[in-house]
Structures are given as structure tokens and as C-alpha cells.
């Protein structure tokens, strides 16, 4: 079972809200992620299932610096191996 790491930047499928994973809730048959974002200077949080969020692409800064990429493996950890 793989889960997203805390601190991973995500985008919601509905609404395209950019947020940060700040918590994980594991129950008998589901995994929920607590995400946090700011809207009009106000902090918002929500619990969402994995199919409701996508890992956000890395924003590149302008200039001649080296590209930094984050692979899918860097955003997930293996909790239980079968």
C-alpha cells in the first residue's frame, strides 16, 4: 500500500485547488488525505480520497539554473508491502 507523503503539493480534481497534504487517515478499507490551502487569506482544510487529488507538477523558476524534477516515487511511501 502506497500513501502520499506529508508536504506533497496536490491539485484537487474538482475545482483545481492547489493544496498541501498535511495528514493521512487510514481506516479498514480506505485512505483519506487531509489537505490545507489558503483562500482570500483564510486557511481551509478538507479530507479527500486519493482519486479526488493529483500530485501537482513542479513549478520551474525562470533563468538558466538546473531543472529540478520530482518523480512519483519521491511523493509516495510504501506503508505495507505484500
Across the 82 residues of the chain, what is the mean pLDDT of every consecutive 10-residue run? 90 95 92 96 96 86 60 68 64
pTM: 0.76
pLDDT of amino acid 36: 97
Yes or no: domain 2-57 corresponds to CATH 2.30.30.390: yes
Task: Tell me what percent of the chain is helix, strand and coil, each rounded to the nearest 5.
Answer: 10, 50, 45
pLDDT of amino acid 20: 96
Burial class (CB in 10 A: 0-12, 13-18, 19+), 51: exposed
pLDDT of amino acid 29: 85
Domain ranges of the chain: 2-57
What is the C-alpha separation between 81 and 69, in angstroms, rounded? 26
Instruction: Tell me if residue 2 falls in helix, strand or coil.
Output: strand
Amino acid at each position: 500500500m502506497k500513501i502520499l507523503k506529508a508536504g506533497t503539493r496536490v491539485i484537487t480534481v474538482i475545482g483545481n485547488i492547489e493544496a498541501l497534504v498535511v495528514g493521512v487517515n487510514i481506516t479498514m478499507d480506505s485512505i483519506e488525505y487531509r489537505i490545507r490551502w489558503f483562500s482570500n487569506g483564510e486557511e481551509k482544510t478538507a479530507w479527500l480520497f486519493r482519486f479526488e487529488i493529483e500530485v501537482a507538477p513542479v513549478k520551474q523558476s525562470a533563468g538558466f539554473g538546473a531543472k529540478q524534477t520530482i518523480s512519483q516515487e519521491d511523493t509516495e511511501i510504501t506503508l505495507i508491502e505484500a
